[in-house]
């Protein structure tokens, strides 16, 4: 679990745009059509994994060990609301192996703050109006249980698969990356299944407004407050789950109320962004969805016009909800990865907005159209919780004691 004393990394305003949109890397084949719809960072619960080398294209991976405990039950905005306690009744297979989706390497890695561990190798969350649980079976495959939906089970499953970005073959991407990067190939054998989600853009945007200069505990508390404004769907594993509130519902909450709930200066950003979205042609939700068909540079510039959205937050939103798979959200941790393995000539330099652009270009030059996915795995491999479990040769022998101590205090930097 993340320490209550986790502190944010100092703020760094950066740009994350390669000079132009990259072409797809060669070797993907039929599963990688440009028409596929599929979209970090920066916050994690401590994981406890049982790792062993696995074939990148393996159809059966041993399930990763689940963290031993879960966070305290969050407080909801309306504690008097009747609770509907739901228990799994019907588990159905998703036809996803662990090499395509590892739940512990996907949900508690700072992409979303609304999913909770509700059992051994089990995570529960909301997709649209659907409350679902996912878990690994003994053979590593993923199954799901639909607790609540306002539509048919078929529609709920389609929405879930879209959220999980299953249109992209993770093993196929890893194979191409590994062919040109031996270190990536070895890491992928230990950390297979770290998937990038395709979230609802409004939900993703509001969550990352909460993440600016923040740590995991406070981000989660803020996101819980926002979530509690939506329709209550039920309780699983001691956690309350809600449909994410609409822009109309969010517009009814004043800046003062957000400040009283502990949002600080972010309160004005949320209320300001909600108002700005409501003025967009066709409504804010549709306007954000339209950015999925826009070039990355324009997406970053457009999102950065919203209150509280800087280049880093914009890159997170682009990667995790707007199908911008080569978006690179750069913080100090990603900078360290880049200078260690991609642009060592810049090691020791001070991170600036211009150098953030160099980092993005270095990742895209190496990994192509899906550079954001490659960065996700490389980032996870640098987390203290993972370094301790990977073979010793993955550790950076030159890393200072001070840097290691700093990493322990702040496993992930969620800044903009």
**Residue tagged 């290691």 (tokens):** 404
Count of Cβ atoms closer than 10 Å to residue 188 Cβ: 26
Strands (E), 171-292: 232-236, 239-242
Q: How far apart are the first and last CA of the chain?
A: 23
Identify the DSSP state of 414: B
Tokens 């954001």 appear where?
Answer: 372
What is the C-alpha to C-alpha distance for residues 287 and 277, in angstroms, rounded to an integer? 8
Residue 244 gets the label, from left (phi > 0), alpha (psi -120 to 50) or beta, of beta
Whether 408 contacts 305, CB under 8 Å:
no
Q: How far lies 254's CA from each of 70, 285, 350, 366, in Å?
A: 32, 20, 39, 46
Active-site positions? 312
Burial class (CB in 10 A: 0-12, 13-18, 19+), 391: exposed
**Strand runs labelled E in 149-272:** 232-236, 239-242
Instruction: State the angle between helix axes of 311-321 and 296-303 in degrees (0 to 180), rounded to the nearest 10.
Output: 120
Q: Quote the CA–CA distance of 118 and 124 in Å, as a whole number.
A: 6
**Phi then psi for 127, rounded to 5 degrees?**
-120, 105
CA 379 to chain centre: 12
């Amino acid at each position: 679990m993340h320490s209550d004393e986790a502190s944010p990394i100092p703020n760094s305003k950066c740009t994350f745009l390669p000079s132009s949109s990259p072409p797809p890397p060669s070797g993907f084949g039929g599963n990688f059509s440009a028409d596929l719809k599929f979209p970090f960072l920066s916050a994690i619960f401590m994981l406890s994994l049982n790792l062993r080398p696995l074939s990148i294209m393996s159809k059966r991976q041993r399930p990763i060990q689940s963290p031993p405990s879960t966070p305290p039950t969050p407080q909801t905005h309306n504690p008097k609301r009747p609770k509907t306690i739901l228990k799994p009744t019907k588990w159905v297979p998703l036809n996803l192996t662990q090499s395509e989706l590892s739940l512990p390497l996907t949900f508690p890695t700072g992409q979303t703050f609304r999913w909770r561990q509700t059992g051994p190798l089990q995570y529960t969350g909301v997709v649209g109006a659907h409350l679902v649980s996912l878990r690994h079976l003994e053979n590593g495959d993923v199954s799901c249980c639909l607790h609540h939906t306002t539509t048919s089970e078929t529609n709920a499953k389609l929405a879930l698969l879209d959220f999980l970005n299953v249109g992209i073959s993770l093993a196929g991407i890893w194979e191409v990356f590994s062919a040109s990067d031996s270190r990536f190939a070895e890491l992928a054998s230990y950390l297979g299944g770290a998937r990038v989600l395709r979230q609802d853009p409004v939900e993703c945007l509001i969550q990352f407004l909460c993440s600016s200069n923040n740590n995991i505990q406070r981000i989660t508390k803020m996101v819980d407050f926002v979530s509690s404004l939506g329709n209550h769907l039920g309780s699983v594993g001691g956690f309350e789950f809600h449909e994410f509130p609409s822009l109309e519902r969010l517009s009814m909450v004043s800046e003062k109320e957000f400040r009283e709930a502990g949002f600080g200066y972010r309160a004005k950003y949320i209320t300001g962004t909600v108002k700005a979205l409501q003025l967009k042609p066709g409504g804010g939700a549709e306007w954000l969805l339209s950015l999925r068909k826009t070039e990355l540079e324009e997406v970053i510039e457009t999102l950065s016009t919203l209150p509280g959205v800087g280049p880093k937050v914009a890159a997170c939103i682009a990667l995790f909800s707007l199908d911008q798979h080569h978006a690179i959200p750069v913080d100090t941790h990603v900078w360290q990865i880049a200078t260690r393995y991609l642009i060592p000539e810049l090691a020791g330099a001070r991170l600036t907005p211009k150098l953030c652009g160099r980092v993005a270009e270095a990742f895209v030059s190496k990994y192509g159209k899906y550079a954001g996915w490659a960065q996700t795995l490389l980032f996870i491999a640098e987390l203290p919780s993972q370094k301790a479990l990977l073979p010793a040769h993955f550790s950076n022998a030159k890393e200072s004691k001070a840097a290691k101590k700093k990493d322990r205090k702040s496993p992930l930097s969620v800044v903009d």
